[in-house]
Amino acid sequence: MDSVNQSVTIGIQELFVLLPHRYPFLMLDKIINVNADQSATGIKNVTFNEPQFDGHFPGDPIMPGVLIVEAMAQTAGAICAREHSKGKRKLVYFMTIDGAKFRKPVVPGDVLELRVVKLKQRNNIFKYDCEAWVGDHKVAESLIGAMMVDPEEMPK
């Protein structure tokens, strides 16, 4: 894997390998500027035909903040799994959300940039500083904690 090349892009087909999410819950279209598990930018093209806009809010569609946080977590999880899977399927579980702030509404037609930077790692636990941007405006931020595991190690 090219760990230091800022031009590395993770396309939708690789996202399908790295993440278990599928429509309507895959919140990413691609990830750009991948720097190993250290940093990356997830891209989410927000479109009117997404199911959350039927009820949030009719006539005034706004992307729910929880889905923005989920998109940040998926971006962090994908680069974490890509760097640490060593050819085996891994799952990255969302553990914590700290300091979440929402600054501006995200609406259909927006291109959401999910900028994640790894703050620390201890064994299989990771912490990422995440920001969501639309153009030149920061629309949300949060610290995300995650744990990476082998699927067969999880209790049933």
Let me know if 137 is a catalytic residue: no
CA triple 111-10-133, angle to 5 deg: 25
Q: What are phi and psi of 25, to 5 degrees?
A: -105, -5
Residues 6+ apart with CB under 8 A from 62: 56, 105, 106, 107
Of the residues 21, 56, 84, 137, which is catalytic? 56
Query: Whole-angstrom Cα distance, residue 91 to residue 113?
Result: 23
CA distances from 80 to 47, 109, 117, 121, 136 (A): 27, 29, 11, 10, 27
Query: Whole-angstrom Cα distance, residue 96 to residue 93?
Result: 9
**Which residue reads 């941007």 in tokens?**
133
- Residues with a catalytic annotation lie at 56
